[in-house]
Structure 1
Amino acid sequence: MRKLLIISLFFLVSPLFAQQFQGRVVDENKSGIPEVSIRVVGTNKYAKTDFNGNFKIDKVNKGDILSFNMLGFSSQLIVFNEETASEIVLTEAFISLDGVEVRPEMDAMQVFADVNIEVNPVNSSQDLLRMVPGLFTGQHAGGGKAEQIFLRGFDIDHGTDLNISVDGMPVNMVSHAHGQGYSDLHFVIPETVEGIEFSKGSYNADQGNFATAGSVSFKTKERIDKSSVSVEYGSFNHKRALGLFNLVADRSAQSQAYIASEYIYSDGPFVSPQNFNRFNVMGKWNNQISSTEKLVVAGSYFGSKWDASGQIPERAVASGLISRFGAIDDTEGGNTSRTNASVSYYKSFGNNTTLESRAFYTNYDFLLFSNFTFFAENPINGDQIKQAENRNLLGFETSFSKEFNGFTLNTNGGIRSDFIRDNELTRTENKTTVLSRVYYGNIDETNTYLNLNTVFKFGNFSMIPGLRVDHFYFNYNDKLSNDGIGNTEQSFLVSPKLSFILQPSPETQFFLKTGTGYHSNDSRAVIFKNNNQVLPRSYGADLGTVLKINKRILLNATLWALNLDQEFVYVGDEGIVEPSGKTNRLGADLGLRAQITDRLFFDSDITYSYARSSEEPKGENYIPLAPALTFTGGLAITNWKGFSGGIKTRVLGKRPANEDYSITAEGYFITDANVNYEFGKWRLGFNIQNLFNSSWNETQFATTSKLFNEVNPVEEIHFTPGAPFSLRTSISLRF
């Protein structure tokens, strides 16, 4: 009885002696490490470091054990007392799932993408997007065009339902000449990417335009440890040169800077060579003003030019008119360039209070020649179209975050303005002769937004309400009109969110996420067609769990639903995205990450989706190209006696190509592999695409086209063939 009284008295009195523990987590170069997970072992007290590695935990008792965990670093346990150092040093280590905790945050699934980028090599923008669990990409008009994206039962086209950003700078292009939300990631040099943040659905208030199926944010490195140069050569005259150059010798200096540059050339497997070439250069400087302030300045430029064979009809291949890698019109292609500049400022006020502000500018040029229908519209000159624009994009955003005892406040506001000149859709012949202009004008579009995201914590339970407010201004000046008067439209939208998280242990999380989002309409659709759905809403919900089954196995299982007030459909022969009707999607995601041995990892993601139009009769309500089943799985080995590598399989199931499923887009099963060997300062690599040399279609569309010798147009599958077996070899030197 006496012992019980003493124990009870201890638990009653100990909070009176609890202290606040604050400090900074740094690496071996004394640079702050952001996003480190900190937990008081045996309690539900959590914290994470800010942008500079700073942290604060209230009510810590003498003798409490604190764990510090970060993927890619050795975990550390410390006992808190008066002599505990305020600077915690974590050392880099081989990746291990042992120290990974399911964090009590809204997007605990983030760890799945973190594991992906740690164990899988990234050599292209396609590889970057494929780091997101369940996301598929496909190229269908030469290497310079933005990839087609598939996620959660969506054919997202080039970004219509996926919000993409890099270092807080938007990638999606509104009212783009080729497609709404067009997202060209080719300005990113893959080796400069340090991390990926992703979420599915639209449940965070800071997720704005196009965040219906989800959002992806890439973060580039703020410094590089060592300079390096590499060259790569492969099948189909593929060539690549890469340089990463550290400009500051002292790794612990307050200022760090580097320059990265890349050049690529490839002919591709096509009968008519792609002649694809691209040049990228990027520079980044960050200044650690103090332990609580940081300034980051970045700039980049990229330019590319290519020829393309486009999508070809099945009947042309079946009849022997062309081969799988042939072309009906090989005058397709284009060129594009993008220049970026950004300034970001970070400030920590202590007491878990931070401020982030950034300003950015982009100049963007786009030119694309396509021919989807060949001679269906113009039997004499052909159906080639030209799409072009020049764009200046400016924006500013500021975010404020404050953590209280049991309550977190996050607020964010900003403005983005696009000034698009000579936005054009023109019917042409041989890229030179103008036959007629369909659209030609200037667009000004501005999005002003403010959002609020809050977290209320009640022990192991969190409630997360959020609210986002958007205002859009559209102006279109039609250069084909005689009056020259601009047409304007404005729209206002409020998007509420509400989510719940139960975190019974560091290994287990259950969640229910709900919220509305939106994807904006093209300015031309808004103004010319008097479309009331200026900002069509999405309504979504996720119910699921993230589990750390044991020290080396992570599992995610989610049931989800997503409804759209208005689907967007790409109309090939007009070259624009047009609004469609309401749609419903239901599905399930299952993800697994396992560390089989210290060096061997397994990953797998599978998604099933049921997608239908809600305004069409049964049997005619299929959503074209919406995938029902996707699967990825692979093995990767890291740092074993200098060797690393992996094998990865991706499966995209067959899907309807039109509304009544009378035309089928066939699925594919593709396996890629890679192996690398490091010796001293050198690294030798081999990358194999399509290991088993499968014959597959990378992208497919149901299109009505007419060949030159045909009397009537025919609707059938038009496809871009996937690359056959190909090998690339690279060698790198670090210094």
Structure 2
Amino acid sequence: MSLIFNRPGRGALALIVSSLTTSAQAAGIPTLQEVTVSSRHQDLIGVADSATEGTVTAAQLRNRPLLRPAEALETIPGMIVTQHSGDGKANQYFLRGFNLDHGSDFATHVMGMPVNMASHAHGQGYMDLNFLMPELIQGIAYRKGVYAAEDGDFTTTGSARIDYRRRLDGNFAEFGLGQNGYRRLLAAGSRALGGDDAADGRQLLVAAELMGNDGPWDQPERLVRRNLLLRLSEGSASHGYALTAMSYSAHWTATEHVPERAITTGEISRYGALSPRDGGRTRRNSLSAEWARLGDSSATRASAYVIDYGLNLYSAPSGYINGPQGDQHEQADNRITWGGEARHAWFLGPALRDTEFAIGTRLRQDRISRVGLYSTEGRSRTGTVREDRITETALALFAEARTQWTPWLRSSLALRRDEISADVTALGGQYNMGNGGSVRGGQTSPKLGIVFGPFNLAGSTEFYANWGHGFHSNDARGATSHTNPADGSPIDRVPLIARARGAELGVRAAPLPGWNTSLTVWQMDLASELVFVGDEGITEPRGASRRHGLEWSNYLTPADGLIIDADLALSKARFRQPVGGGDHVPNAIPLTASVGIGVDQGGPWHGGVRLRYLGAYALEESGEHKSTPFWTANLKLGYRVSKQLQVSMDVLNLFNRHANDIEYWGGACTRNETLSGNCNGGIDGRLVHPLEPRSLRLGLRLGF
């Protein structure tokens, strides 16, 4: 695709704005740009600032088999999405040698709204994407590393910005049925308002989803998910507005990860549960507004949002250490999150080397009326470990200059300042009432990127060098507590901000028509590592770490309607100083690979197949105990009976691999071990959550 503007100034600015809203990428992976802008007779090819940024298009998602909504993020090269509990809970994410837990080091925004939750009841940065409706996604713009001026908290490994469609090609209702009680109804439609049927005219988009699933578990999951979307828009993402209302709720029964020995000894089956009433309920209601204007020599964007969020999560990750009644606890979170951001850019023209200078600000406040940890039996509270009220405010300012020095050299230089403050008030808990207080933290983050090219080497080739500082915030309770709320023992406070520093070198090229490839080497230093602690079911800071790795991504379109992508990611993660008997960072996956093929040439048949490989990773610091490597495959086939009728089939875990979705190492006890007196405060061992067996899902789509 080529977009050509001959008007001085506005053409290059349009290119920049496009890069900010959709990353101006060729579809899907971090590939060389396919956008050409003519300004004062000079062609500028490419606007990417690093070799590891890109976009994913709706066309790629259309033929991608998905087990869970959040697996849409697996279109990001190297990203792994798994689950260790019920499917109403946020997924587990892995990228660049990081166990991201539920989102602590990767930030996601949906239509301008942040998804990661600060000081969350279950885990810092909790990123629940179960409210996504993949069929409505227009694109996913992603960046890796800490090099973008707009990226702040939780972006140590990178960020993703997901945008929904403003207009559908046709209204539809889709019905899905599958094994293990899977059923889904999605209805979506859009219409022009005010008699203007132009693509950029005023549009109203409405979508509703109702979904249920029991899963393969001996204890049926009984997942029920409800989703509603209303979106009023006009124009485009770079010149227009959108008002979006969303409402999501879910409730479920969970089969948590279990000690592997409980399965091997026959105490439970492979898909059995130790605790009968784990699970939870959650809600997410939001209202957001986005506005953008593109002028002859400037561009402005602004957005605002308010989110009503709640979660009650019941789990017993340690099983029965404390007795035959079980170790179930409840983590509860109830909050209002509001905020917004604004950005203004000026195109300074040829006299100043075609520099684009931008300034921006972002404000977010989480008003958490009650966040707590409670001991429970069968979802009934039996005691309060801690209960707090938190108000946490984050303010950021940034400035960025992007300059085209010569036809083959451009740079981006940015400076970002983040300030976070929190007030924590203890509301309950025998040993918690002395905790709380106020805390502040801040960081100034310089960021630098240099791009050499394009050169006529192996097709159009560009070389990238990036360096920058970033961070993730820590839970405000950990930064204000001096006693352990469980037993009153003294604990050390953690800093509110964990600093990160990263660098990478990369190259992108188009060696052959239809083939785009990128190769990147990177390094990341993190001041404080988050590590899963199995016997407590939490994560905790544990020392500084260093990671480095290599990524190779490929995107091929050998024929119209045929898309092939192939990715390989290698990484090594180590603590800077030995911790717990070694320097391995637990659950840091050193090798991932994926290959996917999507076919849709406009005929009746279309579909896709994907293979994914996860290498063995250390389960604990010594590296002695490792997970079992495995690969899986998913298949999607569709057939268009007519323009208004389409049928589809998804086969998930196509070859029925008996592997584990995730593995940990930690202390736990089964019921039999406790009753026999062999628990002794917990038995260290492998904790597993089995991969779901092969399952078949059928879909019927009706257009109207």
Q: Do Structure 1 and Structure 2 share a fold, with TM-score over 0.5? A: yes
Q: Of the candidates 155, 163, 171, which is equivalent to residue 219 of structure 1?
A: 163
Report whether the alignment pairs 1:466 with 2:414: yes
Shift of 1:270: 0.5
Q: Tell me the residue number matched to 2:699.
A: 730
What is the DSSP-based 3-state SS (H/G/I as helix, E as strand, rest coil) of the residue aligned with 2:266?
coil
Give the alignment of 1:406-421 within 5 angstroms: 406-421=354-369
Report whether the alignment pairs 1:133 with 2:77: yes
Instruction: Please give the per-residue CA displacement for 1:514-540, whole angstroms capped at 9, x wherever unaligned.
Output: 001000010111100453522111110
Partner amino acid, structure 2, of 1:684: V
Question: Retained in 2: the 8 A contact 1:112–1:593?
Answer: no
Q: Of the candidates 204, 208, 211, which is equivalent to residue 261 of structure 1?
A: 208
Instruction: Answer with 615-624 or 711-720: which moved more.
Output: 615-624
Question: Retained in 2: the 8 A contact 1:201–1:213?
Answer: yes
Partner amino acid, structure 2, of 1:687: D
Q: Of the candidates 456, 464, 475, which is equivalent to residue 522 of structure 1?
A: 475
Alpha-carbon distance change, 398 to 315 in structure 1, aligned in 2, over 3 angstroms: same
What is the DSSP-based 3-state SS (H/G/I as helix, E as strand, rest coil) of the residue aligned with 2:638?
strand
Question: Retained in 2: the 8 A contact 1:420–1:444?
Answer: yes
Shift of 1:680: 2.1
Q: Of the candidates 126, 145, 148, which is equivalent to residue 182 of structure 1?
A: 126
Report whether the alignment pairs 1:591 with 2:591: no
Q: Tell me the residue number matched to 1:287.
A: 234
Q: Tell me the residue number matched to 2:289.
A: 343
Question: Retained in 2: the 8 A contact 1:177–1:387?
Answer: yes
Q: Tell me the residue number matched to 2:341.
A: 397
Q: Tell me the residue number matched to 2:384.
A: 437
Report whether the alignment pairs 1:237 with 2:189: no
Shift of 1:375: 1.5
Instruction: Please give the per-residue CA displacement for 1:137-189, whole angstroms capped at 9, x wherever unaligned.
Output: 10111110010000010110000100111111100000000000000112221
- Partners in 1 of 2:388 and 2:403 — Cα distance? 49
Question: Retained in 2: the 8 A contact 1:179–1:570?
Answer: no
Partner amino acid, structure 2, of 1:496: P
Question: Retained in 1: the 8 A contact 2:65–2:650?
Answer: no
Alpha-carbon distance change, 457 to 429 in structure 1, aligned in 2, over 3 angstroms: same
Instruction: Please give the per-residue CA displacement for 1:618-651, whole angstroms capped at 9, x wherever unaligned.
Output: 9711111100000001222112522111111000
4+ runs deviating over 6 angstroms: 50-55, 75-81, 481-485
Partner amino acid, structure 2, of 1:326: G
Question: Retained in 1: the 8 A contact 2:105–2:156?
Answer: yes
Q: Of the candidates 354, 357, 365, which is equivalent to residue 299 of structure 2?
A: 354
Q: Tell me the residue number matched to 2:538.
A: 576
What is the DSSP-based 3-state SS (H/G/I as helix, E as strand, rest coil) of the residue aligned with 1:508?
strand
Alpha-carbon distance change, 262 to 617 in structure 1, aligned in 2, over 3 angstroms: closer
Shift of 1:433: 3.8
Instruction: Please give the per-residue CA displacement for 1:29-57, whole angstroms capped at 9, x wherever unaligned.
Output: xxxxxx975488xxxx96645779999xx
- Partners in 2 of 1:671 and 1:251 — Cα distance? 42
Q: Of the candidates 443, 447, 465, which is equivalent to residue 512 of structure 1?
A: 465
Partner amino acid, structure 2, of 1:528: S
- Partners in 1 of 2:444 and 2:19 — Cα distance? 35
Report whether the alignment pairs 1:447 with 2:394: yes
Instruction: Please give the per-residue CA displacement for 1:643-692, whole angstroms capped at 9, x wherever unaligned.
Output: 11111100011111111123222122101111111122111111110111
Instruction: Answer with 444-453 or 240-249: which moved more.
Output: 240-249
Report whether the alignment pairs 1:319 with 2:288: no
Shift of 1:104: 3.2
Instruction: Please give the per-residue CA displacement for 1:485-506, whole angstroms capped at 9, x wherever unaligned.
Output: 9510111211111111112248
Partner amino acid, structure 2, of 1:298: T
Instruction: Answer with 445-454 or 46-55: which moved more.
Output: 46-55
Aligned-residue Cα RMSD (Å) equals 2.8
Instruction: Please give the per-residue CA displacement for 1:199-249, whole angstroms capped at 9, x wherever unaligned.
Output: 111101110101001111101111112111110101111001001121327
Question: Retained in 1: the 8 A contact 2:532–2:538?
Answer: yes
Alpha-carbon distance change, 386 to 561 in structure 1, aligned in 2, over 3 angstroms: same
Q: Tell me the residue number matched to 1:106.
A: 49
Alpha-carbon distance change, 692 to 344 in structure 1, aligned in 2, over 3 angstroms: same
Q: Tell me the residue number matched to 1:90.
A: none
Question: Retained in 2: the 8 A contact 1:102–1:548?
Answer: no
- Partners in 2 of 1:342 and 1:76 — Cα distance? 30
What is the DSSP-based 3-state SS (H/G/I as helix, E as strand, rest coil) of the residue aligned with 2:578?
coil
- Partners in 2 of 1:414 and 1:382 — Cα distance? 44
Instruction: Answer with 479-488 or 136-145: which moved more.
Output: 479-488
Partner amino acid, structure 2, of 1:186: N
- Partners in 2 of 1:319 and 1:223 — Cα distance? 55
What is the DSSP-based 3-state SS (H/G/I as helix, E as strand, rest coil) of the residue aligned with 2:75?
coil
Question: Retained in 2: the 8 A contact 1:232–1:240?
Answer: yes
What is the DSSP-based 3-state SS (H/G/I as helix, E as strand, rest coil) of the residue aligned with 2:478?
helix
Q: Tell me the residue number matched to 2:489.
A: none
Partner amino acid, structure 2, of 1:579: P
Alpha-carbon distance change, 216 to 421 in structure 1, aligned in 2, over 3 angstroms: same
Alpha-carbon distance change, 545 to 223 in structure 1, aligned in 2, over 3 angstroms: same
Report whether the alignment pairs 1:502 with 2:452: yes
Aligned positions, number = 661
Gaps of 5+ in 2: 29-33, 483-491
- Partners in 2 of 1:115 and 1:608 — Cα distance? 28
Question: Retained in 1: the 8 A contact 2:551–2:568?
Answer: yes
Q: Tell me the residue number matched to 1:5.
A: none
- Partners in 2 of 1:632 and 1:567 — Cα distance? 27
Alpha-carbon distance change, 273 to 481 in structure 1, aligned in 2, over 3 angstroms: closer
Shift of 1:79: 11
Partner amino acid, structure 2, of 1:509: E
Question: Retained in 1: the 8 A contact 2:93–2:103?
Answer: yes
Report whether the alignment pairs 1:121 with 2:82: no
Question: Retained in 2: the 8 A contact 1:228–1:732?
Answer: yes
- Partners in 2 of 1:172 and 1:322 — Cα distance? 35
Alpha-carbon distance change, 281 to 455 in structure 1, aligned in 2, over 3 angstroms: same
Shift of 1:575: 4.0
Question: Retained in 2: the 8 A contact 1:453–1:465?
Answer: yes
Give the alignment of 1:481-560 within 5 angstroms: 487-505=437-455, 507-529=460-482, 531=493, 533-560=495-522
Instruction: Answer with 421-430 or 505-514: which moved more.
Output: 505-514
Alpha-carbon distance change, 618 to 139 in structure 1, aligned in 2, over 3 angstroms: closer
Q: Tell me the residue number matched to 1:719.
A: 688
Q: Tell me the residue number matched to 1:632.
A: 594
Question: Retained in 2: the 8 A contact 1:189–1:261?
Answer: no
Give the alignment of 1:589-628 within 5 angstroms: 589-616=551-578, 620-628=582-590
What is the DSSP-based 3-state SS (H/G/I as helix, E as strand, rest coil) of the residue aligned with 2:262?
helix
Q: Of the candidates 669, 673, 684, which is equivalent to residue 706 of structure 1?
A: 669
What is the DSSP-based 3-state SS (H/G/I as helix, E as strand, rest coil) of the residue aligned with 1:174?
coil
Instruction: Answer with 401-410 or 138-147: which moved more.
Output: 401-410
Question: Retained in 2: the 8 A contact 1:119–1:637?
Answer: no
Normalising to structure 1: TM-score of the pair? Answer: 0.85
Q: Tell me the residue number matched to 1:427.
A: 375
- Partners in 2 of 1:546 and 1:470 — Cα distance? 32
Report whether the alignment pairs 1:694 with 2:631: no
Q: Tell me the residue number matched to 1:3.
A: none
Alpha-carbon distance change, 556 to 78 in structure 1, aligned in 2, over 3 angstroms: closer
> How many percent of aligned residue pairs carry the same amino acid?
28
Question: Retained in 2: the 8 A contact 1:339–1:364?
Answer: yes
Q: Of the candidates 165, 172, 179, which is equivalent to residue 109 of structure 2?
A: 165
Higher relative contact order (CA 8 A, sep 6+): 2
Q: Of the candidates 309, 317, 331, which is equivalent to residue 387 of structure 1?
A: 331
Instruction: Please give the per-residue CA displacement for 1:404-430, whole angstroms capped at 9, x wherever unaligned.
Output: 232111221021000112201111111
Question: Retained in 2: the 8 A contact 1:102–1:546?
Answer: no
Structure having the higher Rg: 1
